[in-house]
Chains A and B, each alone.
Chain A
């Protein structure tokens, strides 16, 4: 099925470092969402973006909706051990097409 291209695939960083990841699509989306998935659990919504160019923060997390509507970025500042997990971007087409198309995921490992 269709998937968004997400990079990097995995990251190993030290506690306190900043993290950046991005997601690109060949299709336009009206909504971009970022989720985090811990092992054995379902994805948890982190940030939702509804307008091209929008920049939204949630604590140490900041995400942006690209102006072309074909990409999105997530930054995590001052990473901590509990940031470990898999981060997924997801695009939503809008209108009655509310299903999400997910990115391939970025696996984040944080070392002390």
Chain B
């Protein structure tokens, strides 16, 4: 158990809808990262927050947004969903937002858009 908690585990929704994925980092970790993993693909970095502030942005679509709250949990909002958004979405956390700080991953949310 990595200590990173993601909910829900599974999500099935229709095209055009909006969903919110939630992540609670490991106790003491200040930085949260979101990754997307499509079928049989590697993990693509979406966005990073550190202590409530956006730290780095990757290939995140404009339809997607995220935030980190004062209690350090994070939410990833996906709107106007398309079939191609079906994927596993992982959250990871690290102690600091610095290099040399390994990331620990949750078990992901599997999103299916029909």
> Which chain A residues have a beta carbon within 8 Å of chain B's beta carbons?
1, 3, 30-31, 33, 35, 40-45, 48, 50, 88, 90, 92-105
Q: How far is the CB of B42 from chain A (nearest CB, A)?
A: 5
Q: What is the interface of chain B, defined by CB distance below 8 A to chain A?
A: 2, 4, 31, 33, 35, 42-45, 48, 55-56, 58-59, 90, 92, 94, 96-108, 110
- Contact residues in A for B58 (Cβ distance below 8 Å): 1, 99
- In the complex, the answer to whether A42 meets B100 with C-beta atoms within 8 Å is no
Whether the pair B106, A96 counts as a contact (CB closer than 8 A) is no
Contact A1 B108 (CB under 8 A): no
> Are B90 and A98 touching (Cβ within 8 A)?
no
List the count of A-B residue pairs having beta carbons below 8 Å apart.
Answer: 82
Report the bound CA distance from A97 to B94 in whole Å: 12
Task: Please indicate the chain B residues that have their CB under 8 angstroms from the CB of A101 in the complex.
Answer: 45
How far apart are the CA atoms of A102 and B41 in the complex, in Å? Answer: 10
A96 touches B55 (CB 8 A): yes
Does the CB pair A95–B2 fall under 8 Å?
no
Give the dominant DSSP class at A's interface: strand
Chain A contacts for B92, CB-based, 8 A: 42, 100
- A residues in contact with B90, CB < 8 Å: 42-43
CA distance A44 to B107 in the complex (A): 9
Which B residues lie within 8 Å of A92 (CB)? 99-100
Tell which of B2, B42, B48, B99 touches A94, judged by Cβ atoms closer than 8 Å: B99
Which single member of B42, B48, B101, B108 contacts A42 (CB below 8 Å)? B108
Query: For B103, what are the chain A residues with a Cβ–Cβ distance below 8 Å?
Result: 33, 45, 90, 98, 100
For B107, give its contact among A3, A42, A45, A98 (CB under 8 Å).
A42
B105 and A42 contacting across the interface, CB-CB below 8 Å: yes
Asked whether A1 lies within 8 Å of B105 as measured between CB atoms, the reply is: no
When C-beta atoms are compared, the residue in chain A nearest to B96 turns out to be A98
Contacts of A100 in B (CB 8 A): 33, 43, 45, 92, 103
Partner of A102, one of B43, B98, B101: B43
Asked if B99 and A95 make an inter-chain contact with CB atoms under 8 angstroms apart, the answer reads yes
